[in-house]
Amino acid sequence: MDRTLKIYIGILVLILAAIVVINIYSPKPVDWTPTYDTKDKNPMGLYVFDQEMPELLEGAKIKKLNETAYEYFNSKYNADTLVSNYTVKGTFLSVSESPYIDKQSLDELFYFASRGNTIFLSMKTFPQELLDSLKLDYRSDFVFSDSVYNWTANPKMGKKKYNLIEGMGNNYFSKIDTLTTTVLGYQGTVDKPKVNFIKVPYKGGNFYLHTQPAAFTNFHLLKSDHSEYAAQVLSYTPRRDEVFWYVKNQNGDIISSSMLRYILSQPALRSGWFLFLCGMIIFMIFNAKRRQRVVPIIKPLTNTTIDFAKTIGNLYFQEGDHDNIIEKKIIYFLEKIRQDYLLDTTQLDDNFIKKLQQKSGKEIGAIQRVVYLINQHRKNHYTSVESDLLEINTAIEKIIN
């Protein structure tokens, strides 16, 4: 290993060490992504909510669903009894940024509610089919976040208003069926409250719809008195029954199948890995350039076929054997015709002349001339002279050139 290569490697090692040290001691930026992941300890995760669920829903049996509502409740439906019903009873609970509920599951939830059960959904947006079925309108208004408050409508829970800002949305129910829907909570300002929490009866059960799921995230459950608001909202959940908490795609179980998943998941290791790859590429480029051999110039082999043909031709010409040369020219000409135009050269007659003219596009007179000379040569019994060779050679070249 030469001295220059050692210097390159030393520089790369120092840069790698510097990046690792900087990543270890530099403050990590706060990730405010609203994951609603039960294993996520970032501000917008549900780790604290997951740990505090037994206390927030005291007396209720909590079951996490890692399958869709349709997959779970459909398997619990007993159609063999006199009065068909579910073998389980309770509350379906979902807290998420957006609706992860497919159409089949939504239909199953409607049927589950019709059997005297409860559906509790805290989302920033709701499936349009759900809003249409419950005769609700939904909209969003821009307001200054510092002036937005959230509070419950029941005076027995107190009149305190909670200034929840981080991660909160401006969505609310703009139209409800006042004959059947009960308003349970508001958001906005005191003089312009907007409905954000309602109870909608559906046949034998109830739908509880809440538009501020961020109230249940780590940030708000750990900040001052914000957990009181979350407890007030959840207090409407029946305690006597089982709670089916829908956590599919929110439990952190989606893991990359890549062999480098751990390295790529850590910022310091990821930077080191990419730096290593770049260094190896640079090393190979410089190393290959220094070690590449000089490519020798290899002269191509000389084509001696033409020279050989000229030599043989001169030999025949010097010997004065014109008949032999004419015969070989005729053989060469007819072989060329067979290969290029796929014509039968057995009979050199008018039919042959016509076909050759059609395929080659040569003048009919030139073709007739060469055919005539070939036939004459084959009929004559006298020795050809130099002029005969020149004449037939000129006629042949007009056709094949």
- What pLDDT score does 100 carry? 77
Note the pLDDT tens digit of each residue in 166-188: 888 889 999 999 899 999 999 98
In the chain, which stretches have pLDDT less than 70?
1-2, 81-83, 143-146, 250-258, 288-294, 303-320, 381-384
pTM for the structure as a whole: 0.60
For the chain, domain boundaries: 3-27+259-291, 47-246, 320-400
Residue 142 is classified by DSSP as: -
- Measured from the Cβ of residue 14, the count of other Cβ atoms closer than 10 Å reads 10
- What pLDDT score does 317 carry? 64
- What pLDDT score does 290 carry? 60
Measured distance CA(171)–CA(150) in Å, rounded: 12
Measured distance CA(41)–CA(45) in Å, rounded: 6
Distances in whole angstroms, Cα of residue 277 to Cα of each of 14, 228, 251, 286: 15, 52, 34, 14
Question: What tokens appear for 34 in the block?
Answer: 């609203």
Angle at 236 between CA 233 and CA 237, to 5 degrees: 105
- What pLDDT score does 285 carry? 74
Fold that domain 47-246 belongs to in CATH: Rossmann fold (3.40.50)
